[in-house]
Amino acid sequence: MTTIEETLVLVKPDGVARGLTGEILRRIEAKGYSLVDLRLVEADRDLLAQHYAEHEGKPFFEPLIEFMESGPSVAIRLAGNRVIEGFRSLAGTTDPTTAAPGTIRGDLGRDWGLKVQQNLVHGSDSPESAARELALWFA
Ligand code: GDP
Ligand code: MG
């Protein structure tokens, strides 16, 4: 079945700071997804609080916002059939220490002993999240 979708991918500040943007884009392009739009964004608190609204009140919320404010992210509008689940699969599970080898987080990330899991990338988790997040980052 053809289900053309768009998703929001972020190369988070740790990925940009470590010079991994090219490697992450390489993996996305090699998988065959299409870059529709791409920009470097210095996200402010307001944008980040809306982006991560589902996590408000959790112990890692404040460290997460501070981490995401610490430097620019690369925001990518990515398109393809089933790209939402496809990119989440490329990214790997949330904890980079145990994310499967072969994934972005599993190959390139690890625990740095910080208050938030620095795991290099974000990918929307549903069509509703994708629409909401794309509107925020590509306003
Ligand atoms: P994702 O969809 O895989 O990015 O994970 P979530 O939506 O659950 O969490 C958002 C982000 O918060 C993650 O990517 C991590 O950077 C961070 N995070 C999530 N869960 C934890 C946690 O249990 N502890 C810490 N320290 N950070 C977390
Ligand atoms: Mg999430």
User: How high is the ipTM of this complex?
Assistant: 0.98
Predicted TM-score (pTM) of the model is 0.97
Q: Within its chain, how far is the Cα of 111 from the centroid?
A: 17
pLDDT tens-place string over residues 61-94: 999 999 999 999 999 999 999 999 999 999 999 9
37 has pLDDT over 70: yes
d(CA 9, CA 57): 24
Q: Chain-wide mean pLDDT for the chain? A: 97
4 or 1, which is more confident = 4
Mean pLDDT of 129-139: 98
Residue 128: count of CB within 10 angstroms of its CB? 9
* 94 labeled part of a ligand binding site: yes
d(CA 116, CA 21): 20
Q: Which H/E stretch holds residue 101? A: none
d(CA 64, CA 73): 13
State the pLDDT at residue 1: 63
CATH number at residue 88: 3.30.70.141
Residue 47 is part of which domain span?
A: 4-137
State the pLDDT at residue 30: 98
Nearest protein CA to atom 15 of ligand 1, as residue = 117
Residue 132: which pLDDT band, with cuts at 50, 70 and 90? very high
**Residue whose CB lies within 8 A of the most ligand 1 atoms, among 116, 118, 129, for a mutation test:** 116
Number of domains, the chain = 1
